[in-house]
Amino acid sequence: MKTAFVSGSAKRLGKEIALRLAQKGYFVWMHYHHSHAEAEETLQLIKQNNGDGNIISGDISKHQDVIDMALTVKKTSHTIDVLINNVGIYKIGNLLHYHVNDFEETIQTNLVGSYYMIDRFLPLFPLSGGSIINIGYSGVEYLTASINNTAYTISKTGLLILTRSYAHALGSRNIRVNMVSPGQLSNSVDLSENVKQIIPLGRFGECHDIVHTVEFLLSDNASYITGVNIDIAGGYMMRLAQ
């Protein structure tokens, strides 16, 4: 049985990824920070559907927490085949009035925390290789100013650079590293009221749209794909020639 670790998988997108991987036969480590009850519910749902897994708690922005989680996984599962960095802090606010604590927390969790996760869990990958998927956001490829979402934009742009850097560094170990970038999902916190105007396909995305892409990247059909970012956004944030 292959093993997967999904950060932030007690609810929302992370939960749906964990459920699907369990369905596919993975032993799934479901990570949470504060959402213990939701993580337990997700684990029970997996077991009710003949899947297997366990829950694990930690703050990925703290290096020691990540070290402890990696040791726990090693003692129980010995190896992992898949790491999904799904945790992401999203705090919007005007840059001129943005609190420094929010800025630091966003960068530390979304970017530095993902680095901690990859760095500490790398020794757990088998010699046969594996897959790492980082969750970005639609439009992350474009270097643009962001007055109301500066910290998040910086963190995810940095994560894309980290993704491609690790893809290059880990190719010889057959560990593929990719990014999946959702657009506006129906359960997003800042949905636009003009969906048909801003999204060419005319609808908000659903978690299953993202899950299908994660599933593809983990399949044999994607065995020659690494270092890519895939926007799952219905054309949202697509640049047009002027």
Among 67, 70, 58, 22, residue whose Cα is nearest residue 43: 22
Among 31, 96, 92, 99, residue whose Cα is nearest residue 61: 31
Long-range pairs for 63-66 at CB < 8 Å and ≥24 separation? 63/116, 66/113, 66/116, 66/117, 66/120
Which two tokens mark 24?
């596919």
The Cα–Cα gap between 80 and 53 comes to 12
Residues annotated catalytic, as ranges: 152
The Cα–Cα gap between 242 and 239 comes to 9
